[in-house]
């Protein structure tokens, strides 16, 4: 007896699609620095590998993606941080997208741990998510024929740290409702981390986005029926 759901995923080669972008922008909207790095996906296992950290820096501070991993079938782990050495807020943005081939409804889960530090000798620190929904991490899928679809697992809130102190802003987990319908095809999963960081402060974050297949309702029916059949056969054998 066997069964399967109608959502499935397969390893998709990177090509030129596996990139990570970091930007830092001042309050006037002028870019301070931008860089793009790349990672690889193992064609057999689907393992994601960032061969080296991606870094931008200047007299205003620095930003880095330290880790990027997971499996394109499909999960995405990420970690990084930034330092603002200037006297004004800086907007930091980290974005990546992983190609997938996922069919049918799925359910997603997000996890995030992040912290904030106020540099010694300066005032309180503040981190303000750039997203209009005030979430630090925004997770979307690219749905064939329907553009970008939010997965309902955006996570992370504004955070404050007293002068000269470090705080843990959150250790969070969120599971979303199923999204998508039979026959839907998802071609990429993306993660964006963007926030304003106050003067003379730093932050770091680690998180992951995971997607799982949602079994077809009839799958459960078949499974229960199959188990009932097994039980019936077992009883007949016992009675014999």
Q: Is the pLDDT of residue 224 over 50?
A: no
Q: Kindly state the tokens that stand for 201.
A: 């402060």
Query: What's the burial of 24, exposed, middle or buried (CB within 10 Å: 0-12/13-18/19+)?
Result: buried
Tell me the pLDDT tens digit for each residue of 48-87: 999 899 999 999 999 999 999 998 878 999 999 999 999 9
Q: Is the pLDDT of residue 140 over 60?
A: yes
Among residues of the chain, what percentage have pLDDT more than 90? 62
220 in a structural domain: no
Query: Quick one: pLDDT at residue 78?
Result: 96
Query: Quick one: pLDDT at residue 216?
Result: 56
226 in a structural domain: no
116 in a structural domain: yes
Q: What is the pTM of this model?
A: 0.84
Query: Quick one: pLDDT at residue 183?
Result: 85
More confident residue, 13 or 25: 25
239 in a structural domain: no
Dihedral angle, C-alpha 67, 71, 77, 80, nearest 10 °? 20
145 in a structural domain: yes
199 in a structural domain: yes
| Number of domains into which the chain is organized | 1
Exposure class string for 82-109: b at 16+ Cβ within 10 A, else e: bbbbbeebbbbbbbbbbbbbbbbbbbbb
Query: Quick one: pLDDT at residue 223?
Result: 36
200 in a structural domain: yes
- State which residues form the domain around 168: 8-215
163 in a structural domain: yes
Q: Is the pLDDT of residue 196 over 70?
A: yes
**Among the listed residues 111, 203, 94, the one whose alpha carbon sits nearest the alpha carbon of residue 158:** 203
């Amino acid at each position: 007896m066997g069964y399967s759901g109608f959502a499935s995923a397969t390893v998709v080669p990177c090509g030129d699609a596996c990139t990570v972008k970091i930007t830092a922008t001042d309050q006037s909207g002028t870019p301070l620095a931008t860089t793009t790095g790349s990672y690889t996906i193992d064609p057999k296992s689907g393992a994601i590998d960032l061969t080296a950290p991606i870094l931008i820096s200047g007299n205003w501070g620095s930003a880095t993606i330290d880790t990027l991993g997971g499996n394109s079938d499909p999960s995405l782990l990420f970690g990084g941080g930034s330092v603002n050495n200037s006297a004004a807020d800086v907007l930091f943005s980290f974005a990546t997208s992983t190609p997938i081939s996922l069919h049918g409804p799925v359910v997603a889960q997000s996890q995030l741990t992040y912290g904030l530090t106020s540099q010694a000798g300066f005032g309180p620190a503040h981190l303000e998510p750039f997203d209009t929904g005030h979430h630090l991490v925004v997770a979307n899928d690219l749905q064939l024929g329907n553009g970008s679809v939010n997965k309902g697992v955006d996570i992370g809130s504004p955070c404050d740290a007293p002068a000269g102190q470090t705080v843990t802003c959150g250790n969070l987990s969120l599971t979303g409702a199923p999204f998508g319908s039979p026959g839907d095809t998802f071609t990429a999963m993306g993660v964006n981390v963007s926030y304003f960081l106050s003067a003379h402060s730093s932050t770091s974050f680690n998180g992951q986005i995971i997607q799982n297949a949602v079994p077809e309702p009839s799958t459960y029916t078949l499974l229960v029926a199959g188990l009932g059949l097994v039980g019936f056969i077992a009883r007949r054998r016992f009675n014999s």
